[in-house]
Chains A and B, each alone.
Chain A
Amino acid sequence: MKTKPIMHGYYVFSPATRLFHWNLVICIFLLFFTGLYIGNPFFIGSSGVEPTYAVNNLLSMENIRYVHFLAGYILMASLILRLYGFITHKGDRLFPKFWTRGYWDGLIDTQLHYMFLRTKHKPYLRNSLARTGYASVYGMILLEGVTGFAMYAMIRPNGAGAQMINPVNHWLVDEYMVHVIHHYVAWMIMLFVIVHVYMVFRADVMEKGGETSGMISGRKFYEEEPVDHRDLGE
């Protein structure tokens, strides 16, 4: 009989980051679907009603935009949580360390494994591919925030917000381009989500390290010591 291996827990995610993560999940889904509607309002629930009354419809453009803006604000505000985790907890700082040998070794190792050329990859707190993916999704979220607020602020072109952020509209050619970029990046984030969710479940099934529950409990489990365990400072 094969004995069950002994697993060691590593405390990776701080409470702030976990909270941030689940808030992000909700906000991104809300933002994505309301955003799709704003870009292409396919649903006409208001036909045959005077606009004076139709604007109060549950799914009027007005309300859907309201949800979009609200979710945008909440997402941006929740970045404070993430920042807090980042500052106080080492496990929330798993950068892609391009400048180290270990990063590139890990990148090749995991890629070969995902291409079925290696039966297993080494244990990582977070492998190089994931580190790169998360760093770029943060980049995309920030880009969405900046372009989003650049458009939103122009509701009041003389307001303080517009004074601050309007230059973005002109750096990126012009405001219409900002809409387009915002739209495309939203799709890229969605594509990331598909791969991300798959990768997490896959890791759970293959490595049984509690990848999914890790985002709730904060702990991930390993048979062997992860290669990058020093990033936790232990």
Chain B
Amino acid sequence: MDQLGTTLRELFEKRNLSRRTFLKTCATLTAILGLAPEMLQDVVAAAERKLLVPVIWLHGHECTGCDETLLRSQTPLASDVLLNMISLEYMDVLAAAAGEPLEEHLQQVMQAYKGRYILAVEGAVPLEADGIYCMVGGKPFVENLRQAAAGAAVILEVGSCAAWGGIQAAKPNPTKSVSVSDVIHGKTIVKIPGCPPIPEVLTGVIMHYTLFGKLPPLDSVGRPKQFYGNRIHDTCYRRPFFDSGMFVEKFDDAGSKAGWCLYKMGCRAPEAYNSCGNMRWWNGLSYPVQSGAPCVACGANNFWDQDPFYERLPGIPVPQTVANADKVGLITAGVLTLGVAAHGAASLIQSKKHAAEEEEKAKEDEK
């Protein structure tokens, strides 16, 4: 807890890190936060003055994938982020303590920093059967969440599970998992979706709040604009192939080797709002589309139910097989055309018959 009540600058001094290192870190932060280079001065000033904000990190219904990605965040280094910069006060999977002492510590932190801490939630909230499908510290997770949320300054929904419900919420959703914002109301909630989210995005949001005391600009569903403002498709370096109509047809064809567009392999990036295309993963090394795999839009609501992932349109379950919309449409149109033709023929016959009958009747009347 010794980071609390200190500034970033003091932290660096305590560790005998040079001013140069401090300034470099600030420059990196400025870039991640999506701020203009002229803002560097403000970032430095804030890092010298602003006290670090304590972070409580809760785990619900999830796979700890988001922790894994956070540990691998590169700029700033994971160890730095975790131990120094964001002053993570409670995180069950990374804490050295366990059991009751840890839970007690959580209560203490919540008391001591009431109304001032950032609550990061990873994982969905199962509601079925009073929430017994996810128990933490002997209590349903939903209760822990409600308690921790009450005293939080802001809540971050880390990952697609917390933001939308995630894989646990996939049909038929037996545990009735929902997102954090479905349960918690009346609080400032930031969505940081992704499966997992890009770690720099998460630390970026936390640093933005720490340094400026407010959240970065959010879009209409509550995602930070600078990271979720664009479709990956619009920043994709394969885009020229898309516009030219040059598509990979199979994973091992010539187009795939030449790096053509993955649209026909099911690429969901035209609907994926994320930073993969410009920030990339693992210190800017690569991202799925670059590695030749179509994007599944893991940061989008309901992506888990929109299979098959390697086809453009989701399948329509027809008995015995799975068809696609165009095939079903074409067959229906064909059947319909035959149907109306048959109906037309029948109508003509009926009308002829009717006319003949009328004539017969008319003749009879004449007699």
On A, residues with C-beta under 8 Å from B are: 2, 36, 39-41, 43-47, 49, 51-52, 54-55, 57, 59-62, 64, 114, 116, 119-120, 154-155, 157-158, 166-167, 170, 173-177, 179-180, 183-184, 187, 190-191, 194-195, 198, 201-202, 205-206
Contacts A167-B220, A175-B271, A198-B340 given; indicate if A57 touches B329 (C-beta within 8 A): no
**What 13 additional pairs, Cβ within 8 angstroms, besides A51-B243, A198-B343?**
A46-B244, A49-B244, A51-B244, A52-B240, A55-B243, A119-B351, A157-B273, A174-B271, A184-B325, A187-B328, A187-B333, A195-B336, A198-B340
Interface hits, B333-363 → A, CB 8 Å:
333, 336-337, 340-341, 343-344, 346-348, 350-351, 354, 359, 362
Once the chains bind, are B302 and A174 in contact (CB under 8 Å)? Answer: yes
Size of the B side of the interface (Cβ < 8 Å), in residues, is: 51
Q: Is residue B300 contacting chain A, with contact meaning CB distance below 8 A?
A: yes
Once the chains bind, are B347 and A202 in contact (CB under 8 Å)? Answer: yes
Q: Is residue B312 contacting chain A, with contact meaning CB distance below 8 A?
A: yes
Q: Which residues of B contact A44 (CB under 8 A)?
A: 245-247
CB within 8 A of B244: which of A2, A57, A202, A205? Answer: A57
Q: Which residues of B contact A61 (CB under 8 A)?
A: 242-245
Once the chains bind, are A191 and B245 in contact (CB under 8 Å)? Answer: no
Once the chains bind, are B326 and A40 in contact (CB under 8 Å)? Answer: yes
Q: Is residue B72 contacting chain A, with contact meaning CB distance below 8 A?
A: no
Stretch with Cβ within 8 A of A (4 or more), from B57-65, B133-141, B199-207, B229-237: B229-237
Nearest chain B CB to A231 CB, angstrom units: 26
Q: Which residues of B contact A205 (CB under 8 A)?
A: 348
Interface hits, B303-351 → A, CB 8 Å:
303, 306, 312-314, 325-326, 328-329, 332-333, 336-337, 340-341, 343-344, 346-348, 350-351
Contacts A183-B325, A187-B329 given; indicate if A174 touches B301 (C-beta within 8 A): yes
Interface centre among A114, A198, A201 (most CB of B within 10 A): A198
Contacts A116-B350, A174-B271, A205-B348 given; indicate if A45 touches B245 (C-beta within 8 A): yes
Nearest chain B CB to A178 CB, angstrom units: 8
Once the chains bind, are B244 and A154 in contact (CB under 8 Å)? Answer: no
Q: Which residues of B contact A52 (CB under 8 A)?
A: 240
